[in-house]
Structure 1
Amino acid sequence: MAAGTSKLSLIKPGNLWPFLLITSLFFLWGLANNMTDTLLAAFKRIMSMSDFQTSWIQLAFYGAYFCLALPAAILIKKYSYKTGILVGLGLFILGSLLFYPASITMAYSHFLIALYVLAGGLSILETAANPYIVAMGPEETGTRRLNLAQSFNPIGSITGVLLSKIFILSQLNLSSADERASMDQAQLAAIQSEELTSVMGPYVGVALFLVLIWLAVKFTNMPKASDAGAKLDLLPTFKRLLKTPHYVWAVVAQFFYVGAQIGVWSYTIRYVMQEIQLNEDDASSYYMAALILFMVSRFVFTALMRYVSPRSLLLLSAAAASVCTLLVIYGSGYLGVYALIGISGCMSLMFPTIYGMGIRGLGDDTKIGGSGLIMAILGGAVITAVQGYVSDLTQDISMAFYVPLVCFVVVALYAIASGKLERNSGRPGSEAEALPGGMFQKAG
């Protein structure tokens, strides 16, 4: 980070309440994201599915991110960030409430539809909230400010896993797939109905809480920066973005990073169950430990950014994540489990750092450019499905972690190349965090 950055204000005067309110959204989508991650293990048992079949949960969830991010950016650019946030929260509420009829029909496809609507709302929220947070202070501190806001995301993640552990995973009937196959239809339907009602409960509860957040946002006067609009001209905007190397490669890196994160978290419970022979409820405690480490590490990395460039921290964390992933693949028992937890500590700064580096210097193209970085969340759907397929093919979940390993290597290569990419971008301000003297530079 350039010398003197630490002396710049992190949040513009008068923006504290809007900053806190929008930061609460990071908590809420963290809750939804990680409560949904546990559904892979839940539906695998409830409906006796393969890993690839359960990965459709992430395909519906993160596929919605891909489909809704650009329309969200257009909506925000035409109206305001506040409009985007209200629409996003509305879809979040609707998708959560759709879990109720899905639990009655007991159709897997209906749960997928509910998740798609819910995630569509989250896509709009993320498209609005990430650049909004960046705009709440000097551009030079934008990446650090976004990391601070994102630090509350894992608190929501932990809460989501805790809700799932208490209300979903602990309520699963422990009958195996073979035992369920031998049951008569009425008996199996009764068990599944009870389990799916447990799945529905937390989502409907969250929906009721979200109504209060919607009202708070509705009656809050957002800073002018959130409503600053420009003429919507998509084709020239796309052309400019495609000619901006540091942005294009940030989208690529984000695709692979999100794929790695969702793949690692989606199959954490499965890996723990395999390596130390626990059930879903007990294995989820290790998932929660990973999220706690993720949360703590994000605060630590945010503090380190006062002294170490985001680019350097990204490279170091991607390298460390690669080492931990190798231990997951070739280790066994508790060694592999602890290495798996360690990956979360390494991942904690990646999303906001890649995002912040990617949108630097985009100017009026920031809203549309930010939507591209949110669309890259599609990696969570694609790569998780690939990882599930590899697991089914090898009959060994540990071998499937070769998939996130490749992703972390891509992120490391992006971190190495990002300095040159920024210098080639031709955008004003894109080199504000460049370090000509080396990897580390203390802020003055």
Structure 2
Amino acid sequence: MASESYGYSSRSPIVLAVTAAMLVCSTVFVVLRLISRIGIVRRLGWDDHFMILAWCLAFGTSFAICYGTSVGLGRHEVDVPAQWDAALRKSEYAFSVLYNPALMATKTSILIFYLTLSKTQKIFRWAAIVTLAVVNIGGLALTFLIIFQCRPVTAAFKNPVPDSATCTNIVILYLSSAPLNIITDLAILFLPMPILTSMRLPKKQKTILIITFGFGVFVAVVDVVRIAYLQQAAKNHLQDIQNHSLPSGGNSRNLEADDFSWYASLSFMWSAIEINVGIMCACVPALKPLVSRFLPHILRDTSQTEKSVTNSGSMLNRDMGDHQPLPSVPDSPLKKPPPVASANPETTLGMMDFLTTPDMNEMPRACQRADTYTTATTNATMRTRRPTATFFDFVNIKKKKSMVHMSNRESVFPVLMVTILFFIWGFAYGLLDTLNAQFQAVANMSAGQSVGLHSAYFGGYFVAPLTFGRLVFKQWGFKACYTVGLVIYACGTLVFWPSAVLTSFLAFLISNFIVGLGLSTLEISANPFIALCGPPEYSEVRLNLSQGIQAIGSIVSPLLAKKVLFKVQASSLIDVQWTYLGISFFTFILAIVYYYVPLPEATDDELEEASNRIPAPSTTSVLNVKVIWITLCLGVFSEFCYAGGQETVSTTFPEYLAMVRPGLNYVGHQAIGHTAFAVSRFIAAIAGLLIKPRYILLFCYAGAIAFAVAAMNGHGAAPASVVIMVYFFEGPIFSLNFAQVLRGMGRNTKDASILLTAAISGGAVFPPIAYGVLKAKNVQYAYCVVVAVFAFGALLPLWLNGSPAVKAIVDPRKAETGVGDGLPEQTAAVEERR
């Protein structure tokens, strides 16, 4: 029966053939790399030594798979003869142990190579070092988890696992490591791109470089394909958890039930492909000296070279007069060029030679010889002019117009680009809310744990703005926060993968927290960007429009999650992880896009100059305290209270609806609430063209308080409608608060934005308090927390409307437009006349 199975229902032949072929291919690449480094460069670096180690580990993993196919890997468990079982388990164990070290060695080789690319790009170097640490620390942790997957270790070789032993499901370990592998794959892929794309090289040269370093995308794709073959096992595991049918003693590695040798075989094969493709991609840049020596026409950009050499020669001839012509440039890489001064004569190629072609290297040498000739044949007092080699430097982009000097027309494109980010975090917020509820249902979590997940998300809003978010914002500006925030957000969505696989409350808590870190990093710069980019009298209008788009994202995502992503099956969390993987990849791409999108910035001096255009001086004091500092303190407190009230309404909404009107469709009614929330922001944006923002803010707070009080009583349709009105009046508060508090802050605008964003962490504080009241009394009584926090938050609009000095600062004036739309020189002239 075994032989018939091998012939008709065995994956062993294809696994064996593909694994062996990939090992042969990677071996060829490694050999060519060594020929290039030893024969041409005449030097082996640490990256080469790690690549040799990676190949040795790749050989071990590939051999374990090939041997495994001879003892049952690729067959169904029932088709594996009993005498093969021990050898099969040992081959599977050997592969599992060697897999992560092979990836670690390959990625370490690449990252060490990266560290030699640039000595001056500090951000790039630190990013490479951090990635290197993550690769090795995470890889070591996973390796030890796999080595000790069973206690005692020998139990991993037995089937079934003895009752006296304890084993961790190996499929769970594989899937849990997926985020680490994907994140580091993407980091290695994208890290060098900013340096490569900013180098001043001919188009062909730059294209070749980017393609060469972009081969790493295949590794990430292969990793995703590999994981797909483990999904069925993860689904079975999750169903076991829900049915409470896991074997006693935690021995979840029930191989007979899981048919491990059959479904894991293709995953093993794709793992071998991943390792060997990674080695081949890592070797490609190191093959450049070999290609340039024997196939120079592939890399040489002839037209650009001739043009550059002609220009350089013309410039030198102008310096020399009508002296002798330039020495000829070697026209073949096989001709030995003149020696170049070097501290180490044995070093024939530097790291830049890995990034440039022979003609690029020859040209500076020709210029150098011509320059020497000029010095020898001209007057001793003549200063020699050395042509500047501009092939390895970076483009000096002309400084853009400051956002505080832009007109309405000029601000349309940047405002639209940043508004896209508002939609993204609105979508993420709504999706996480729905996902929390789904996770609670699937994993039998309590309502208190669901509130904890929500609080973890908003806890990230407290940590990020006050730590690394502030550093990024202050040091590198608005756009840097978008890229950093998107990358962190993408990592958080990837961490959902092991959360779903493990059905772990702690893992999901971490995922929510990381997402909060990323989105808060976005928000510390996105909100002030919208408020500041354009004429200042329309700050509140612009921010309400962008926040309205964010609210639309909050409407779309829960409906999408409920209607499309989540099904009745127990495995829905496993299914939706593919959606999160897609969101993560999309976000990584978006981060790269925003790195290159031209967006305006504003320095502290420009922000101070914009603040000085306000007719009322920002130095006005009350009781020896500047008015702007009192406004900032009340604004931060108001945002803290508002976020707490808003999230309390959101988290208690299902319980509230179940109490006041049982049987009402929760998803549909909450969509109505989110729609009211979004509509109110658009209405406030239109109203801001006619009414002072401080009046609108006071009106919204008053309405939110009144309807929150009304929601504390009654049953039936009336309170269900009243809570919708709470959503409606909540909508514009954040935008109006944020934009008005920023007025007059000058060079302190960025710090004010950081504090206002950190205040959103009120969403982590008040929902747990309301949950405690709910457990003690009921959900309607818990609305006393909403009433209280909105009442405290209303202190800000009372202050804005009660102090004449504050009114003069926060009220927008159309007179500012003429100054704000002008150039800096015109602005200075206006200030001088004042």
TM-score by length of 1: 0.82
Structure 2 counterpart of 1:430, from 783, 803, 809:
809
SS in 1 for 2:410: coil
Among 424, 427, 432, the residue aligned to 1:31: 427
Rounded Cα–Cα distance in structure 2 between residues aligned with 1:172 and 1:266: 23
Equivalent residue for 2:581? 204
Indicate the structure whose relative CO is greater, using CA pairs within 8 Å and at least 6 residues apart.
Answer: 1
Does residue 117 in structure 1 map to residue 499 in structure 2? Answer: no
Q: Of 668, 674, 690, which aligns to 1:285?
A: 668
Supply the AA of the counterpart residue of 1:403.
V
Tell me which structure has the larger Cα radius of gyration: 2
Q: Does 1:61 align with 2:443?
A: no
Q: Measure how far apart 1:101 and its partner are.
A: 1.3
> What residue ranges of structure 2 are gaps of 5+ in the alignment?
1-403, 609-624, 814-834
Q: Does 1:297 align with 2:680?
A: yes
8 Å contact 1:241–1:247 — kept in the other structure? no
2:761 paired with 1:378: yes
- The residue type paired with residue 304 of structure 1 is A
Letter in 2 for 1:390: V
Tell me, yes or no, if structure 1 residue 82 matches structure 2 residue 479.
yes
Report the CA distance shift for 1:276/1:380 in structure 2 as closer, same or farther (over 3 A): same
CA-to-aligned-CA distance 1:189-241 (integer Å, 9 cap, x gap): xx4xx24325545433322332342232122111243898899xxxxxxxx99
Q: Does 1:152 align with 2:549?
A: yes
Closer/same/farther in 2, CA of residues 382 and 198 from structure 1, 3 Å limit:
farther
**Structure 1 residues 10 and 164: alpha-carbon distance in aligned structure 2, compared to 1, 3 A threshold:** farther
The 10-residue stretch of structure 1 (219-228 or 84-93) with the greater mean CA deviation from structure 2: 219-228
Other-structure match for 1:181: none
Confirm or deny that 1:350 pairs with 2:350.
Answer: no
1:255 matches 2:634: no
Q: 1:95 to 1:421 in 2, by over 3 A?
A: farther
SS, match of residue 160 in structure 1: helix
Residue 310 of structure 1 is aligned with which of 668, 673, 693?
693
SS state of the match for residue 223, structure 1? coil
Which structure 2 residues correspond to residues 92-171 of structure 1 after superposition, within 5 A?
Answer: 92-167=489-564, 171=567
Q: How many Å apart are 1:122 and its aligned residue? A: 0.2
The C-alpha deviation readout for 1:368-418, integer Å capped at 9, x for no partner, is 110100000110000111111111222x22221111111221233321122
CA distance in 2, matches of 1:91, 1:241: 37
Q: CA, structure 1 residues 413+225, in 2 after alignment: closer, same or farther (shift >3 Å)?
A: closer
Pair 1:272–1:199, CA change in 2 (3 A): farther
Identify unmatched segments of 5+ residues in structure 1.
1-7, 174-190, 232-239, 435-444
CA distance in 2 between counterparts of 1:229 and 1:63 reads 32
SS at match of 1:399: coil
Which residue does the alignment assign to 2:657?
272
Equivalent residue number for residue 406 of structure 1: 788
Whichever residue aligns with residue 116 of structure 1, its letter is F
CA deviation profile, 1:160-185 (whole Å, cap 9, x unmatched): 211222246x5357xxxxxxxxxxxx
Q: Does the 8 A contact of 2:455 with 2:765 survive in 1?
A: yes
Secondary structure at the aligned position of 1:344 is classed as: helix
The aligned length equals 393
Name the SS for the 1:98 alignment partner: helix
Q: CA deviation at 1:147?
A: 1.3
Aligned to 1:184: none
- State which drifts further: 325-334 or 40-49: 40-49
Q: Distance between the aligned counterparts of 2:787 and 2:702, measured in 1?
A: 10
Retained in 1: the 8 A contact 2:549–2:678?
A: yes
Q: Could you say if the C-alpha distance between residues 90 and 344 of structure 1 is closer, same or farther in structure 2, counting changes exceeding 3 Å?
A: same
3-state DSSP of counterpart to 1:397: coil
Letter in 2 for 1:305: G
Question: Residues 47, 328 of structure 1: CA spacing in aligned structure 2 closer, same or farther, 3 A cutoff?
Answer: farther
Moved more, 133-142 or 88-97: 133-142
Shift of 1:19: 1.2
- In structure 2, the partner of 1:244 is 629
Equivalent residue number for residue 180 of structure 1: none
